[in-house]
Amino acid sequence: MGLSGGMDSMVLLDLLVQARARLGFALSAVHVHHGLSRHADAWAERCRAVCMSYGVELRIERVQVSVSGGESLEAVARRERYRVYAASSADALVLAHHQDDLAETVLLQLLRGGGPRALAAMPVWRMHEKVGLWRPMLAVRRSQIEAYAQAHHLLWVEDESNADTRWRRNLLRHAVLPEIAGQIPHYRQHLARSAALCADAADILREVACADLAAVKTGGRLAMPAFAALSCARQRQLLAYWCEQLALGQPAPSALEHFRQQLLGAAAAASPCLALDSGALVRYRGEVWACRQSPACAEVKLTGLMPGSAVLPLGWAGCLSLTLKSSGLPVDWLAGDLRLLPRQGGERLAQSVGRKPVKTLLQEAGLPPLLREQWPLLYRGTELVAVPGVAISSDHLQAGGWVPQWTPA
């Protein structure tokens, strides 16, 4: 479980310890030390002492919280917490969010202009990378948790920042929601119901986007005629869903809409591009390509290769596979000095019509410029013998040889 040391997580710990006594599951806790408060060390020690009294193993994880790029301190701290959670090997990581947290999150997302997925807020259960996040107290109010804590004489820490109304969540909690509660006592339940309806709507939109992507995508690319036949809303959903599936980063709605309009309206010779955190989408020759941002790739020595094998070269954004063909490179080369190298410029490869520039071969293969820049070259010793997936050296073709293929990630 995630243990902050606050009232909510201390109540959850007490309940889980009781459940452990009945059901016999393994229970441990993780405390994320953000270092943002002068009391942070004392909170960690309080968590350690309480866990020791319960016989619960505690892991304290220290994280660095540095704000950049317009993110709020709260958002960065949250991201670091969930990074720690993602590294857990547990079957489930239990969190102490309750109904008041859910209501606050729905309103915050609404004020930020969030769509159905954001307004779905926090589900009782969801997968976060490889660990399941479970929030068993989402139907419980803060006042009920406080009553339990006092009745069982639990001790907890108070985060002084929770009273600072410069933070939007605290402003809602202390100034706005008490006024709403006076007029609409059941607002928490209403917002929880809205969140559940938004979750259903988001799931439906996701299913439609998944089906549209399957219908529009060919060979890892989007076919523009099929894309253009979709409604504007489905085009936006498809592009956002594709970015999410490829883990390229989520574009701002305005940037996504501008790119969508460019895809449909830019001149045929143009190559509109949507820059993302981890790559880009680009239109090229009537198709939309996804290009993953690749680090500065270094030489990779290839060993232990055989026909039919596939290799994920360290530092390269893609997969190298070897296929036996009617003609290709000599099989005995697989045990020799083969290397992947990045392009430097000016390389040429032997072809039946003479030595052709690699740049020309990549252009003739219909690859967009962003992919051409990071396409690997295959060398034997110091000799260029193939541009994987594009061409192989005509000087070394033989019957029953192997052909290298390159699939960008």
- Cα–Cα distance measured from residue 202 to residue 196, given in angstroms and rounded to the nearest whole number: 10
Assessment of whether the complete model's pTM goes beyond 0.85: no
As annotated, the binding site for ATP includes: 4-9
Q: Give dist(CA 120, CA 155) in Å, integer.
A: 32
Domain end point (choices 262, 292, 322)? 292
Q: Mind listing the pLDDT tens digit for each residue in 246-284? A: 989 999 999 999 999 999 999 999 999 999 998 999 999
The verdict on 164 and 18 lying in the same domain is yes
Residue 334 in domain? yes
CB distance 311 to 305 below 8 Å: yes
Question: For residue 207, which of 236, 180, 241 has the smallest C-alpha distance?
Answer: 241
Q: What is the pLDDT of residue 70?
A: 66
CATH of the domain at 281: 1.20.59.20
- pLDDT of 312 strictly over 70: yes
Residues 391 and 312 in one domain: yes
**Whether residue 306 is found in the same domain as residue 283:** no
- The H-assigned helical ranges of 252-379 are 253-265, 358-364, 369-373
Say if residue 387 is in the same domain as residue 331: yes
Residue 131 and residue 17 in one domain: yes
First to last CA, the chain: 34
* DSSP strands (E only) in 236-297: 273-276, 279-284, 287-292
- Cβ neighbours of residue 20 under 8 Å, at least 6 residues apart? 27
Shared domain for 390 and 342, answered yes or no, is yes
What values do phi and psi take at 158, rounded to 5? -110, 120
Do 384 and 340 reside in the same domain of the chain?
yes
In terms of domains, do 253 and 148 share one?
A: no
Residues 122 and 22 in one domain: yes
Q: Is residue 30 part of a domain?
A: yes
Q: What domain count does the chain have?
A: 3
CA pair distance 352, 103, nearest whole angstrom: 69
Residue 306 clears pLDDT 90, i.e. is over it: no
What gap in Å lies between CA 262 and CA 272, rounded to an integer? 6
Q: Annotated binding residues, as ranges?
A: 4-9
From 128-137, 222-231, 334-343, the region with the lowest mean pLDDT: 334-343
- Asked if the structure places residue 387 within a domain, the reply is yes
The SS3 of residue 346 is: coil
Classified as helix, coil or strand, 173 is helix
Residue 230 pLDDT > 70: yes
Q: Which residues share a beta bridge with 330? A: none
Q: Which helix (H) or strand (E) holds 328?
A: strand 318-329
The answer to the question of residue 264 being in a domain is: yes
The answer to whether residues 314 and 255 belong to one domain is no
Whether 311 and 261 map to the same domain: the answer is no
Residue 31 pairs with which residues in a beta bridge?
60
Do 138 and 65 lie in one domain? The reply is yes
CA distance 321 to 230: 35
Domain span at residue 344 reads: 300-408
Q: Does residue 213 lie in a domain region?
A: no
> What confidence tens digit (pLDDT) does each residue in 182-191 have?
999 999 999 9
pLDDT at 293: 80
pLDDT at position 304 over 80: no
